[in-house]
Structure 1
Amino acid sequence: MSRGPDAATLLRRALERDARTQGCAITIGTVHSTRWASATFVGAQHRLTLDAPDDAALAHWLGALAEAELTLRGHLVADATVTALARHGECAEATIEVLTVEA
């Protein structure tokens, strides 16, 4: 029996959906996830890299990402942070780190 997509897949889909609704065209490249646990929570830390046109839509989306309501079935987004942004002409590459916890 399939348990459905994992947190990393759900996160990827949620980020793509959120960016699209903000008019931002992103392409997610690498996704690295590591299981994480505290005394009270279990989840994962995710590091994603993405490419996008370096425009106002990207700046707005990245600036609002920490407060975005990302919906992941069975998981909550506890923290989302842009940790790197490199500009290459008209393109940009961003690194995003996200902490998810199992709901």
Structure 2
Amino acid sequence: MALVTARLERALARSAADAGTMLAVERHDVVEWHSATFAGDRHRLFASATSGERLDAWLARVDTLDLAMPGHVIADLKVSACERLGDVTRFRIDGLTVAT
């Protein structure tokens, strides 16, 4: 599970950096998930970044990001909370990764 967690964090950080913003992961909660045919993990990633147009644009398209995670597919990704506190924006990204 730790490997999947690190890969998702790196993929999101790389995507944010490519969009011109840097995110800081503050906490990452993971719970195993299973269906009748798939196994994976549900993620809750709490992060922050400097407020601005680049961050806003990146957050607006988190649900459409095509992130590379060897051995896993990101089946669902969304911003589920976002709060601006002056120059800092804190947000939560929820996601589901499925092992391939």
Which amino acid is 1:67 matched to?
T
The one of 50, 53, 56 equivalent to 1:56 is 53
Runs of 4+ in 1 over 2 A off after TM superposition: none
Indicate the residue corresponding to 1:45 in structure 2. 42
Q: What SS does structure 1 have at the residue aligned with 2:37?
A: coil
The one of 5, 16, 26 equivalent to 1:8 is 5
For 1:36 and 1:83, the matched residues in 2 are separated by 19
Instruction: Give matches, 1:1-103, under 5 Å.
Output: 6-103=3-100
State the Cα distance separating 1:90 from its structure 2 match.
1.1
**Structure 2 unaligned blocks of 5 or more:** none
Summarize deviations over 1:1-36 as a string: whole Å, max 9, x none: xxxx62111000000000000101111110010000
For 1:41 and 1:74, the matched residues in 2 are separated by 13
> After alignment, is 31-40 or 5-14 more displaced?
5-14
- Seq. identity, %: 33
TM-score (norm 2): 0.96
How many residues in Structure 1 have an aligned counterpart in Structure 2? 99
For 1:21 and 1:14, the matched residues in 2 are separated by 11
For 1:25 and 1:43, the matched residues in 2 are separated by 27
